[in-house]
Amino acid sequence: MGDAADAEFLELAVLVVDIAREIQLRAAMSTPVVPLTQTQGQVMRYVHDHPGCSATDIADGSGLQRANVSAALRDLRGRGYITSRRDEDDGRAIRIDATPLADETIAKLRRSWAELVSDAWNADAADDHTPNLDHLTADLARIREGLRAHRATKAFRIPSPAPLGGGTDSTHHLVIAEGPSTDGD
């Protein structure tokens, strides 16, 4: 890809991340719901959009580590947002569903997101942006599906961190500076 195209996609990526962050910040301030961590939010959205999914489905579909999904599920179950049930065909499998409380909470959040985006979109009331919005929504959906398809091929791997040797703090991956040698070298 050429430098101009790279710059355009870089700008698009930065805009999408910035917009998502603004929506999250403003919705958290204006929507009276119990705040969730980013992981809990991802898990909750996946369960809401895929009723009867398994924990493995959630991990695969959201790109989260299985252990993080399990921890989020425990927290969400404790808050009354999800229920678990045995699979009707395979009694060993557990199926996860959103509760009515979760559905109501997600609906409030999504209405808040829509209102925030609508207000920002319509800030310049002199122009009718509706045709552009249709194209933008379709283009963003295509990008999202392309990213999800790439991840689903298992070609998407998060590299493991390099092993840490002596003189490092494994918690924060910081190299601890060693003082000057005192052995006369």
- Spatial contact of 96 and 62, defined as CB atoms under 8 Å apart: no
Q: Hey, which residues does 82 pair with through a beta bridge? A: 98
Beta bridge partners of 174: 169
Please list the pLDDT of the chain residue by residue as tens digits (185 residues): 677 778 899 999 999 999 999 988 887 777 767 778 889 989 999 999 999 999 999 998 888 999 999 999 999 999 999 999 998 888 888 999 999 999 998 888 889 889 999 988 888 766 666 668 888 899 999 998 888 787 766 555 555 566 555 544 444 333 333 334 444 44
What radius of gyration, in Å, describes the C-alpha atoms of the chain?
Answer: 22
pLDDT for position 154: 58
From the centroid of its chain, how far is CA 40?
9
Residue in this structure with the two tokens 């603004």, named with its chain if needed: 22
pLDDT at residue 153 in the model: 64
Domains along the chain with CATH numbers: 34-112 (1.10.10.10)
Residue 90's pLDDT is what? 84
**Per-residue confidence (pLDDT) for residue 169, from 0 to 100:** 45
